Structure 1
Amino acid sequence: MTDPRTHWPLIALLWTTGLLAAAQFAKLTLTIDALSDVYPGMPVPLAVSGVSVVGILGGALAGFFVAKIGARRAVLLAVAASGFLSLFQGIEMPFAAFMATRIFEGFGHLLLVVALPTMMVALSKPSDKPVVMGLWGTFFGVGYALLALVVPSLEAWGGVRAVYVGHGILLVAIFPVLWALLPRVMAAGGTMPDVMAVHRAIYANPRYFAPGLGHGIYTAIFIALVAFLPNALGAVWLTAVLPLANLSGTFVSGFIARHIPASKLSIGGFAVAGVLFAMMGVTGSIAVALCAMFATGVTAGANFAAVPEFNHTPQDQARANGAMAQLGNIGTFSGTPLYALVAASLWGITGVSIAICVAGVIFAGLAYRAARMSAEMR
């Protein structure tokens, strides 16, 4: 794409597709109790984490795969496969078969979270890229919130299977729109390296892995705090409000990143959040907790915006987004068990949050510094 404009209608379409990618997680999380009744005695929570495991194992490889086949093909393949699998999940089947559909669905999710932001950046003019990536950073929380509104009605109407069928119908409906409108934003081609070569290529280059490291440290906080902080503060209603505070920070970060390099904004968000978490531990203030979640949201959006800051070609951005997916899934996978160990104490939650923010300042800070040095040497 050589058009200097920002193609907002196409970007909105890609972001909407991202909401359906977020629903691949949310539909299981929001129906886990009902699904446990369908499969009594089965390890139903594994059906949620199955998608994360695919991201951990294949995140780095996904960036190279998207670069090989092209972002347009990757999006279309992922939407078609995910739509079929979601419709298939509406059929009664043994739990083992249902788990298999979830694992295969994880591959579609992985392609989407790598290819969609790659296309969104390619369709943006340079000054709008931070805003576009800040918008992309909201996809998970917005998709989760929207699905939370409709799941109760779908379950009441057609049971838990209706949720999965409804998700599949939306994916099938958006497929022809994507087919008709999506341009080719990168030339497909090249050969796939072996798995070890992929990881060496990404993790030897800080321009690829620095945004992902910041993102992985952030994801260790977000879902766990939404799960445990409301009870620790004695305010269950915060479960719905904390994600909104976080999303607000994520969206605003895109506009701030027009004036401050996203890599520096990410570290600043970690630092401010760490101070606010300390204040929350001392005061037990809900207002301070919301401000802390806003600050972590700024960090989240800044990490996404840092991808095009250091990587200027769609192929490089796809590889960086692959690292984002892999390290983000590692953070999601590890953060909740860590917080569960201290969930009974507000100071325990505070201490873990401060430690993670300090880790973000130090380790993500060093990675971003190396990425800036690498970019200056090019």
Structure 2
Amino acid sequence: MPSFVRSPLFLVLALWGAGLGAAAQFAKIVVIFPELQAHYGETGAMSGYLVSLISVMGMVLGLVAGIIAIQIGVRRLLLSGLYLGAAVSAWQTTLPGFEWMLASRLLEGGSHLAIVVTAPTLIAQLTIQRHQAKALTLWGSYFGVAFAVIAVSAPFILKTAGLAGLPAIHAAYMAFFAVLLTFVLPVEDRRGAPPWPSPRDIMRRHLAAYTSPFIAAPALGWLFYTLTFVSMLTILPTMVDPAQRAFVAAALPLASIASSMTIGNVMLSHLKAVSVIIAGFALAIGLVTVFLLTGPGTGLFIALFAALGLVQGASFAAVPQLNASVADRALSNGGIAQTGNIGNALGTPAMLAITSMDAAAGLPALLIACYASAILVHLAMARSRAKAEYAPGVQA
């Protein structure tokens, strides 16, 4: 095997590629959602579960996935998620009945959760400290990049291969990365692995993790980010000139990725990740205040997503900065997965409810409240960390 495939750079890129596959588990349904609704006929509001059911696993079991990674090994859980994802997508190419398709989406949620908890944990483990922030900023772009690629390619795939085309390509993609990472990822030493926890131990670990200012901080800030990010992608394009809607819909996630990879990386070279997160939220508050005073605007919305891009990359970079052990990093990434899914599930209904009231100040007020709450949470966690020395302990 060539030596370059064992290099940290290659491994980080391969893990990022696996992350693109995890994001595509959302995108492959969202992008062709109208066509799937037409295929399955009169399913009404139930069709929405084709998108949202994948989040259920993360909402309920996000932190549990971190615990499982500690027990069976981070590498093993990642590979299990990839092989399971390939198998589920292969089954979806048969376009099973609606109820079976819903069941496959729930199962796919387990695959998605396994990947998004373990891949950033491994990235932090495989890179030296001075490169961790850049590597995890790259990881933070996985969702937006996957959506952009699938949005561009889906029309051609639908035209040439029909509804089965996207899941077929996704199955092959996931299988490729499962096999690749099986051979190139270092095998973990599982000697001395802790015994499986009891249900009571699992509850205790949840409590300990979410009360730890080291483990919980990235996840709690991430909750307020995800409460608004996906919902704004849905709502903000409808608030601009119809001629600009397609441009805005594509530009918003790209602005977030671009700022994360450029300005975010520069800031992370000089500042702690939590400071960059707070700066991103503070800048977002300023831009939303302009929105409140002047009304919606294309440039303003793009700038807002660029500000949130600072939060995106720095939130993942904060995990290894705040947590020294692999076990605590797995728990922290599990918390990010859990709060992220909760935010995605609750954010869009809340924003739609507020915008339906026709109150001009309603949406900006909600955004400012979310971002101010995130800043207050991070400041409170920072004060708690200053009063206590870091002690792993939660994984015991």
The TM-score with structure 2 as length reference comes to: 0.90
Matches within 5 A, 1:88-167: 88-167=91-170
CA contact (8 A) 1:23 1:144 kept: yes
Match of 1:201 among 177, 183, 208: 208
Match of 2:335 among 305, 323, 332: 323
2:376 matches 1:365 = no
Query: What letter is aligned with 1:246?
Result: S
Query: What letter is aligned with 2:255?
Result: A
Seen in structure 2, the aligned counterparts of structure 1 residues 130 and 6 have a Cα distance that, compared at 3 Å, is: farther
Residue 319 of structure 2 corresponds to: 307
Q: Percent identity?
A: 30
Match of 1:191 among 195, 208, 211: 195
Residue 277 of structure 1 corresponds to: 288
CA drift of 1:251 comes to 2.1
2:367 matches 1:341 = no
Seen in structure 2, the aligned counterparts of structure 1 residues 14 and 95 have a Cα distance that, compared at 3 Å, is: same
Residue 3 of structure 2 corresponds to: none
Residue 218 of structure 1 corresponds to: 225
Q: Which 5+ residue runs of structure 1 have no aligned equivalent?
A: none
Residue 235 of structure 2 corresponds to: 228
CA contact (8 A) 2:17 2:177 kept: no
Query: What letter is aligned with 1:244?
Result: L
Aligned residues: 374
Q: Distance in 1 between matches of 2:190 and 2:324?
A: 15
2:29 matches 1:28 = yes
Match of 2:78 among 59, 75, 92: 75
Q: Which runs of 4+ in 1 moved over 6 A?
A: none
Seen in structure 2, the aligned counterparts of structure 1 residues 95 and 374 have a Cα distance that, compared at 3 Å, is: farther
Q: Which 5+ residue runs of structure 2 have no aligned equivalent?
A: 1-5
Query: What letter is aligned with 1:37?
Result: A
Matches within 5 A, 1:24-63: 24-42=25-43, 43-63=46-66
Seen in structure 2, the aligned counterparts of structure 1 residues 187 and 266 have a Cα distance that, compared at 3 Å, is: farther
Query: What letter is aligned with 2:117?
Result: V
CA drift of 1:38 comes to 1.5
Deviations 1:353-375 (A, max 9, x none): 11111111112321243245434
Range with greater deviation from structure 2 (252-261 or 43-52): 252-261
CA contact (8 A) 1:273 1:292 kept: yes
Seen in structure 2, the aligned counterparts of structure 1 residues 301 and 6 have a Cα distance that, compared at 3 Å, is: farther
Query: What letter is aligned with 1:216?
Result: L
CA drift of 1:96 comes to 1.0
Aligned-residue CA RMSD in angstroms? Answer: 1.8
Match of 1:356 among 359, 364, 370: 370
Residue 239 of structure 1 corresponds to: 249
CA contact (8 A) 2:214 2:390 kept: no
Query: What letter is aligned with 2:224?
Result: I
Q: Distance in 1 between matches of 2:209 and 2:390?
A: 18
Q: Distance in 2 between matches of 1:364 and 1:277?
A: 20
2:266 matches 1:255 = yes
SS of residue paired to 1:159: helix
The TM-score with structure 1 as length reference comes to: 0.94
SS of residue paired to 1:206: coil
Query: What letter is aligned with 2:34?
Result: D
CA drift of 1:128 comes to 0.9
